[in-house]
């Protein structure tokens, strides 16, 4: 997909981070914008920024099926089938995996996984219908996962599970699309540590899914993630450009930090050789020792 002028982009999590930067590139390429976010003030600022473009802005909790269904109906009525769907909204949560509450699981899987599920189940049929009606029609779906969807870093299990599921969903979507069309493609975005608002995503956590007082492991995870994300060298704008490069090149995997793939290779070698999972801190034993000490303190 290389021609964007006059086409429609649906972007979830559009009020900040990757979503906002992708919207900026989409606007610069002449696309009509459908902006979705659960945070109303951020959504309002984004809508105002793109006021000169055809824009449909809606406050949407992507975890809610009825809200996503209403969004899809509004998009179809206003613009028809979207050409680009960026299932990007996401939240973060860490801690030792047995310490995550049911509310933690419902919140993280609801946004990170079911948000993508809803985007795929609602917009893919619309895109396929448009492709069938017009042999020249092209579309692309990009789902945001994470390097945590390719690895299993400790002390952030609920997030890992959600992002592995998005990789699996996206790889299956790629294969399923290839069975029925050459006109609709998909990609999966797997960023590493990039400064966005995800480390503060609890600001938008629904009241009915609030957690209890954070455990020691959850506080440690939050501090480590804050530090890692804030020190990231790549910006959200850099990653947004990678998304469009991948669509231009019809490339499925989008890795912001290719050097992190060494860890993926090690994990796959563990699987192929039937060996126990390799210590994720083998190259930085000081970090591993510090984490173990912190978690084992009374």
Q: What is the model's pTM? A: 0.93
Judged by average pLDDT, the poorest of 12-21, 153-162, 237-246, 279-288 is 279-288
Percent residues over pLDDT 90 in the chain: 77
Q: Three-state SS for 184?
A: strand
User: Does position 235 have pLDDT exceeding 80, yes or no?
Assistant: yes
Beginning with the edge strand found earlier in the chain, give each strand of the sheet holding 32-37 in spatial order.
55-59, 32-37, 8-12, 84-87, 139-144, 184-190, 253-255
- Cα(first)–Cα(last) distance of the chain, in Å? 56
What residue spans in the chain does CATH classification 3.40.50.720 cover?
A: 8-256
Q: Which residue has the tokens 């109906």?
A: 73
pLDDT attached to residue 20: 97
Instruction: Look at the domain 8-256 and name its fold.
Output: Rossmann fold (3.40.50)
Mean pLDDT rounded to a whole number for the chain: 92
Query: In terms of Cα–Cα distance, which of 65, 70, 104 is closest to 214?
Result: 104
Decide if 159 is catalytic: yes
User: Does position 195 have pLDDT exceeding 80, yes or no?
Assistant: no
Active-site entry in 4, 159, 174, 253 = 159
Query: Does residue 50 contact residue 79 with C-beta atoms inside 8 Å?
Result: no
pLDDT band at 186 (very low <50, low <70, confident <90, very high): very high
> Dihedrals φ, ψ of 63, to 5°?
-75, -15
Percent residues over pLDDT 70 in the chain: 95
Say which residue, 204 or 177, is predicted with more confidence.
177
């Amino acid at each position: 997909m290389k021609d964007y002028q006059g086409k429609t982009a649906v972007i979830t999590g559009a009020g900040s981070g990757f979503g906002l930067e992708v919207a900026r590139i989409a606007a610069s390429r002449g696309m009509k914008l459908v902006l979705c976010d659960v945070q109303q003030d951020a959504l309002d600022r984004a809508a105002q920024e793109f006021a000169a473009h055809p824009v449909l802005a809606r406050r949407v909790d992507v975890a809610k099926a009825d809200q996503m269904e209403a969004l899809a109906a509004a998009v179809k009525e206003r613009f028809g089938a979207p050409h680009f769907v960026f299932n990007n909204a996401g939240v973060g949560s860490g801690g030792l995996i047995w310490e995550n509450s049911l509310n933690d699981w419902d919140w993280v899987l609801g946004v990170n996984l079911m948000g993508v599920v809803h985007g795929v189940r609602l917009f893919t049929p619309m895109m396929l219908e448009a492709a069938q009606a017009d042999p020249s029609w092209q579309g692309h779906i990009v789902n945001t996962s994470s390097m945590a969807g390719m690895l299993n870093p400790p002390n952030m299990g609920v997030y890992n599970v959600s992002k592995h599921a998005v990789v699996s969903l996206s790889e299956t979507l790629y294969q399923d699309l290839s069975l029925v069309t050459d006109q609709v493609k998909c990609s999966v975005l797997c960023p590493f540590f990039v400064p966005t608002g995800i480390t503060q995503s609890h600001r938008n956590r629904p009241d009915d899914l609030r957690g209890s007082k954070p455990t020691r492991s959850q506080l440690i995870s939050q501090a480590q993630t804050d530090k890692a994300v804030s020190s990231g060298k790549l910006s959200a704008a850099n990653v947004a450009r990678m998304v469009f490069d991948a669509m231009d090149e019809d490339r499925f995997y989008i890795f912001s930090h290719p050097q992190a793939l060494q860890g993926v290779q090690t994990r796959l070698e563990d699987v192929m050789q039937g060996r126990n999972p390799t210590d994720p801190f083998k190259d930085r034993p000081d970090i591993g020792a510090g984490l173990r000490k912190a978690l084992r303190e009374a």
